[in-house]
Structure formats: structure tokens, C-alpha cells
Amino acid sequence: MQLLHLEDSPLDHDLVCRALSKQGINCEVTRVETLEALEQAATTRRFDAVLADYRLGGFTALDAWETLQKLPSSPPIVLVSGAIGETAAVEAIQLGFSDYVLKHSLHKLAHVVQRAIELQQNRLDKEHATLQLAWSEKRLAELTEHLQQAIEQERAAIAREIHDDIGGALAAIKFDLAWIQRHHDDAPTHQRLETASTMLQQAIGASQRIMRNLRPAILDQGLEAALEWLVQEFEKRTGIETLGLISPIQNTISKPVELTAYRTAQEALTNISKHAQCTTVRVELSDLGQNLMLEVTDNGRGMQPSDHDKPASFGIRGLRERARNVGGWLDVSSATGAGTSITLTIPLQDPESCPEPDKAAA
């Protein structure tokens, strides 16, 4: 154990060394008398702890504390003083000293020093764990953002393939059916053609619906138009009365923010159709001050607190990560039998500070 002893009395230094030796502490104790020597020793060597007398020539242990705090890593400091008042001792402990021992009670010194070193190590371990956790959370957020971008890119790519390949093939089949219908007059053939045409039209409608869900082209016309279309489609598909209160957005909104708001509304409406058992839904969009706010509210059965913590429940967690990726946050308010309200809030930035939208996702 390496100890640094700030003491201007060689006799007192010897007493401290003997007390530590008698108590079974195997240590090397280096004595310094001035603040300059203290700083130099603590800078050039690593010490497990510092023992400091309270009053020295022209300065006190409080000055030594300030000197050590300037260093990148400061060891724990234990006061070892012959006469220190209770007020001074309390002040030192509040400042950050680990403990204090009176010189006539040196039989306690070994225990105090060991405890100070253990507490210091625990504190360092906790700081290290906190840094590691922060780093892990940062990496997780980066991974989540990357996955969201990859998902949007994949959705856009699938929508293009459906439009170009499947859409083109269905259109060609439609023309062929029309040609066959023009060149055959018998009733059975016409009946089969009518059935095929109906099924084909359903397939075309399904492919168009899938494309719109993957990446609605109307989003290029702005968030307000996209949300109004989403509200109308939701009401048409589910039969649930849906009110859209879409205020014109006065602020400039980046593409990532638009996409986050749209996907939040889309996911919220999907959850409502699956779980809410409601009769009315309200979708409200506004830009109050410098914040974009989206609120989706239903009058359904509400959510239990345990619903948020289900192992496979990633909907709300995914929306929160989406919001965090653009600097916003998501609030969920719900009560059993009183419906659920999901509110997305995103602080709006200046156009110059907004990140460039991902072209592939757009």
C-alpha cells in the first residue's frame, strides 16, 4: 500500500508509521511538508491514500484538498490531526475528506485508511459502470437509429419493386384479359373473364394498399396531407369514427421528423385497431411554439401498466426510440376503461441545423 503523508513533524510521522505497522498494514509511507511537494509527489506517483495533518506551516489540509482536486485522479484523504475542532472536522468531511483520526487515537488509523480506500474504489467502480452504461446506451441508440433507417430503406425498396414488377405484371394481365374479352363472344368465357377481372382488380388494390403502407407517396406532399389521408384510410378500413385535427404547420420540418411523426401515427392507429375496442379516435397535429406535437387519442378500454412491460411488446418502446432519435419524446397516458392518449413532442430546429434526409428512405 502506498500512502502519502502531509506532515511537518518527523516525530508524528514516525508515530503514524509505527501505528500502521502494529495494526498489520504493509505499506510505504512518503512524507511531504509543503503543497508544492504534495502536488509533485501526487503527480509523479500513484498513492492509495493521503494522510494529512490539519494545520501546517502557512496552510491547512483544506488547501491540500484543493491542490489535489486539480489532478486528474485524486486519492482519498484522511485527516490525522492532534487538535481539530468539531466544526473544522465537519467542514472537511462535507468538502470531501474520507474521514479523520485524532493523533491520540492512532489505533483506529488502519481501519479508517482501509475503509477510505475501499469506499474510493467503490466510487471509482460506480463511475466506471456509469460510463460503461452511458456508452452502451449511446451505442444502442445508434444501433436503433441505424435499424430504423435500414427499415425505411427496405420499405422504400419493396414499395418500388411492387410498383415496378408486380404492378407492371398486373397491368399487363389486365390488358390481356381485356383483349381476350374483346375477341371472344361466348358467355362462359365472358363469365370467367369477369371473375378473373374482379380478382385482378382486388390484387391491384391490395398491391397499391401495401405500397401506400410501406411508403405513401402522399408523404411527399407534406406531413399534414399524409396524416389526413391516413385518418381517412383508417376510418374507411375499420369503420371507427376518426377525427383529424390537422393544423397547418408554420415551421420548417425536416424529412426525418416528418417520417417519425407519420410512423408514430401509423403505429398508434394500428394498435388501436388491434387492441383498443373503441368507437372514436382523434388525431391532432400542431406546432406550438418551437415544438411539433402529435396526439392520437381513443375512447377504448385503456392500457394496464403491465402492458408496457410485456416481453414481446415493442410497439411503444419502438416509438420512444424513434422519438429519441430526432430529439423528441413520447408520452403515454391511459386508464382502464377511459381510453389511451399517445403524445409525440419534437423540438423543431432551424433549417440549417436539420440533418440531411436519407434519400433512399425518402
When pLDDT is averaged across residues 89-105 and rounded to a whole number, the result is: 83
- Domain holding 58, by residue range, is 2-127
Residue among 58, 66, 23 at smallest CA distance from 50: 66
Residue carrying the nine cell digits 462535507: 94
pLDDT at 177: 87
When pLDDT is averaged across residues 93-120 and rounded to a whole number, the result is: 86
More confident residue, 274 or 349: 274
176, amino acid identity: D
pLDDT at 320: 87
**Exposed/middle/buried for residue 258 (C-beta within 10 Å: 0-12, 13-18, 19+):** buried
Say whether both 246 and 360 belong to one domain. Answer: yes
Is residue 325 within 8 A of residue 260, CB to CB? The reply is yes
Whether 37 is in a domain gets the answer yes
Task: Look at residue 360 and tell me whether its pLDDT is greater than 50.
Answer: no
Whether 277 is in a domain gets the answer yes
Query: Is residue 287 helix, strand or coil?
Result: strand
pLDDT at 282: 95
* CA–CA separation, 31 and 37 (whole Å): 9
Under the banding of pLDDT at 50, 70 and 90, the label for residue 62 is: confident
Under the banding of pLDDT at 50, 70 and 90, the label for residue 70 is: confident
pLDDT at 239: 93
pLDDT at 275: 86
Q: Which of 127, 158, 179 is the last residue in one of the domains?
A: 127
At 240-275, the pLDDT tens digits run 999 999 988 887 888 889 889 998 999 999 989 988
CATH of the domain at 302: 3.30.565.10
Is residue 257 within 8 A of residue 251, CB to CB? The reply is no
Say whether both 105 and 222 belong to one domain. Answer: no
Is residue 47 within 8 A of residue 75, CB to CB? The reply is yes
When pLDDT is averaged across residues 352-356 and rounded to a whole number, the result is: 44
Say whether both 15 and 114 belong to one domain. Answer: yes
**Exposed/middle/buried for residue 309 (C-beta within 10 Å: 0-12, 13-18, 19+):** exposed
Split into its structural domains, the chain has a count of 2
The number of residues in the chain equals: 362
CATH of the domain at 121: 3.40.50.2300
* CA–CA separation, 151 and 10 (whole Å): 72
More confident residue, 64 or 309: 64
Angle of helix 109-161 relative to helix 315-325, nearest 10 degrees, comes to: 100
Whether 7 is in a domain gets the answer yes
How does 52-91 read in b/e, with b if 16+ C-beta sit within 10 Å?
bbbebeeebbbebbebbeeeeebbbbbbbbeebeeebbee
Under the banding of pLDDT at 50, 70 and 90, the label for residue 362 is: very low
Distance of CA 223 to the CA centre of its chain: 25
Q: What is the pTM of this model?
A: 0.54
Task: Look at residue 11 and tell me whether its pLDDT is greater than 80.
Answer: yes
* CA–CA separation, 24 and 290 (whole Å): 66
Instruction: Kindly report the number of other CB atoms within 10 A of residue 353's CB atom.
Output: 7
Say whether both 104 and 240 belong to one domain. Answer: no
Say whether both 123 and 224 belong to one domain. Answer: no
How wide is the angle at C-alpha 294 spanned by C-alphas 207 and 335, nearest 5°?
100
pLDDT at 330: 93
Q: Output the CA–CA distances (angstroms, integers) from residue 67 to 5, 79, 204, in the order listed.
A: 14, 15, 77
DSSP 272: I
More confident residue, 149 or 59: 59
At 202-227, the pLDDT tens digits run 888 888 788 877 777 777 788 999 89
Whether 259 is in a domain gets the answer yes
Under the banding of pLDDT at 50, 70 and 90, the label for residue 349 is: low
342, containing H or E segment: strand 340-347
Instruction: Kindly report the number of other CB atoms within 10 A of residue 208's CB atom.
Output: 14
Whether 335 is in a domain gets the answer yes
Residue carrying the nine cell digits 490539519: 54
Whether 188 is in a domain gets the answer no
pLDDT at 358: 45
Whether 29 is in a domain gets the answer yes
Query: Is residue 101 helix, strand or coil?
Result: strand
Q: Which of 74, 95, 127 is the last residue in one of the domains?
A: 127
Say whether both 119 and 236 belong to one domain. Answer: no
Q: Which of 94, 127, 160 is the last residue in one of the domains?
A: 127
Query: Is residue 242 helix, strand or coil?
Result: strand
* CA–CA separation, 24 and 243 (whole Å): 79
Whether 50 is in a domain gets the answer yes
At 289-332, the pLDDT tens digits run 789 999 999 999 887 766 655 555 557 888 888 898 888 999 99
* CA–CA separation, 102 and 112 (whole Å): 11
pLDDT at 147: 77
Is residue 78 within 8 A of residue 97, CB to CB? The reply is yes
Say whether both 123 and 222 belong to one domain. Answer: no
